Amino acid sequence: MPSPNPVQTFLNEAEDLLARIEVITLELSPGEPAEDAINELFRDFHTLKGSGAMFGFDAVADFTHHVETVLDQARDGNLPLSEPLVIQSLGKFYRNLEFVSGATIMGDGRVALILDLAGLIRHAGTGGNQLS
């Protein structure tokens, strides 16, 4: 029986989570209730944050923390966009093929995830400004 390797398990898990995040994000439609989706996204990003920090992926944990903050505000309705900020900005993010192709943690995982989440946050910020 191969001995367990939690770091490798995390990398596989992160790939699955990113795939899920992508699917949930692509299914979001402006104007439709997004509460469940936002909760799911929050949980997935929270897992990336907690487990990422656990295995020394500090940059991943830092960035996912920012994403969480945005999702949290959206969930609490503190952002006027409870849908628009997150949905539109995530939608914009995922329409960018360059970012999508980077949305995997396999290979040089750290760099790929950092770039993607930085892009996500940047787009989230832009979306917020556009709405106000």
Residues at the site binding other proteins, with contacts judged by CB under 8 A: 4, 6-7, 9-10, 12-13, 42-43, 46-47, 49-51, 53-56, 61, 65, 68
Residue 97 Cβ vs other proteins, minimum distance, rounded to whole Å: 29
CA–CA separation, 47 and 63 (whole Å)? 13
DSSP annotation of 32: S
Please, which residue, 63 or 99, has the CB nearer to other proteins? 63
Residue for token pair 């989706």: 37
Residue 1 Cβ vs other proteins, minimum distance, rounded to whole Å: 13
Q: Is 24 helix (H, G, I), strand (E, B) or coil?
A: helix
Please, which residue, 88 or 112, has the CB nearer to other proteins? 112
DSSP annotation of 79: S
Please, which residue, 34 or 71, has the CB nearer to other proteins? 71
Roughly what angle, to the nearest 10 degrees, separates helices 58-76 and 84-95? 140
Please, which residue, 22 or 68, has the CB nearer to other proteins? 68
